[in-house]
Amino acid sequence: FLYTGDSRELRRANCSGRYELASLAGKSRFTSHPSLHGALDTLTHATNFLNMILQSNKSREQNLQEDLEWYRALIRSLLEGDPNISRAAITFSTEPFSSTPQVFLQASRHESQVLLQDLSSSAHRLANASVETEWFHSLKRKWRPHLHRKALNTGPKSLDNSWKRREGLSADKNHIRWSSPYLECENGNYKPGWLVTLSAAFYGLRPNLLPEFRGVVKVDINLQKVDIDQCSSEGWFSGTHRCHLNNSECMPIKGLGFVLGAYKCICKAGFYHPSIFSVNSFQRKDAESRLSGGELSEEIYSCLPCREGCSSCTDDTPCYAQEDKYLRLAIISFQTLCMLLDFISMLVVYHFRKAKSIRASGLVLLETILFGSLLLYFPVVILYFEPSVFRCVLLRWVRLLGFATVYGTVTLKLH
């Protein structure tokens, strides 16, 4: 399901509790993802609003039951403030040492409606530390968080003279607790949709102005529309792409949601992918990648270098003409044989120079024609070696001298 996003994959597994991606615990969050900024701001503002109310007006803690409608409206506003929030809850207790909160309200999104529930009667379940209640226990254990002090100005109508001006405590996004992404279990089957729980504690003040735990605000965010960027250096699954950075670049594919493999490896200039593709890029195959013990597959997708002299390519086709060693060897061997026969012919003619036929033809003319023929064979020998300025000049002169010598001598003999 993490690789495909297909809910049919979840029907094969039974469950008794939620499934968490525990391997991502403690890793960098999606704080930089634009779609989560709204939920983070909503939770931060709600927490700081409670901090301000409780720290500036002590009577709010004493009128808990009278303010239930006000708290219901608060958690309802959390869902209406951001469409990515699927569930919101708030706990409140005037006794900081109590293991269970006095008030436990929850608002859930069901299609286009918001369902409000008062779970105060079942708040005792929060007393048992478990994965499902970690959002409450982890924050309750932090009695004195590192909050920022902020001046609160309150009027005389709500406070006594001693509370007219004092410093309050406010939280920011760094104080929000993130859970690992998880799947909820319902009726023995996993619900299709990855969630993450964000929670933040709010505090009242003791008479000595020390913070005192009052409760927790939490929201559950649906991650199915949040893209996983495996190419980035921040966030969950950051840097887990399988592209070989020496010869390829990782390019995320937007709009696929919370699934792995939403990227493609694009070959850098001078490299190509060995398979046959219309472009120099490739994507992870579903059958090739799986989570094994919380770790990603170690297979690396690598591009191959282009042939020498190619600035870009799509396959292994050479950009320069490639030499055929065997053909070159056959031609130079045949050419050498012809030159050897030509030289032997010159020796034979000179040896039988007193013969009547050779004297009639002219020894000098025959030797000159054979020498010119020898020069005509040299261009092929010169072309066998790597070109250079000297060889290019020599090639032209040898060809012209050989041609002029052979046909000039023949023309002179005929006339």
**In terms of domains, do 333 and 402 share one?**
yes
Report how far residue 127's alpha carbon sits from residue 113's, in angstroms, rounded to the nearest whole number.
30
Mean pLDDT of the chain: 80
Q: What is the pLDDT of residue 171?
A: 67
Count of the separate structural domains present in the chain: 3
CATH number at residue 77: 3.30.450.20
- The phi-psi region of residue 111 (left if phi > 0; otherwise alpha if psi is between -120 and 50; otherwise beta) is left
From the list 157, 155, 124, 129, the residue with the least C-alpha distance to 141 is: 129
135 is a domain residue: yes
Residue percentage of the chain with pLDDT more than 70: 82
**In terms of domains, do 205 and 354 share one?**
no
**In terms of domains, do 200 and 318 share one?**
no
The SS3 assignment for 215 reads strand
Q: What is the pLDDT of residue 344?
A: 95
Domain that holds residue 352: 325-414
Express each pLDDT in 292-318 by its tens digit: 333 444 456 788 899 888 888 888 888
**In terms of domains, do 183 and 108 share one?**
yes
**In terms of domains, do 251 and 111 share one?**
no
Residue percentage of the chain with pLDDT more than 90: 20
Confidence of residue 143 (pLDDT cuts 50, 70, 90): low
**In terms of domains, do 203 and 335 share one?**
no
Q: What is the pLDDT of residue 300?
A: 65
Of residues 359 and 278, more confidently modeled? 359
**In terms of domains, do 329 and 400 share one?**
yes
**In terms of domains, do 79 and 22 share one?**
yes
**In terms of domains, do 314 and 332 share one?**
no
Express each pLDDT in 72-111 by its tens digit: 899 999 988 888 899 999 998 877 777 778 889 999 988 7
Express each pLDDT in 24-78 by its tens digit: 665 545 555 677 888 888 999 999 888 888 877 665 556 667 778 888 899 999 9
123 is a domain residue: yes
291 is a domain residue: no
**In terms of domains, do 66 and 31 share one?**
yes
**In terms of domains, do 14 and 85 share one?**
yes
Total-model pTM: 0.66
Residue identified by tokens 């250079």 is 388
306 is a domain residue: yes
Report how far residue 1's alpha carbon sits from residue 248's, in angstroms, rounded to the nearest whole number.
28
H or E element in which residue 178 lies: strand 177-178
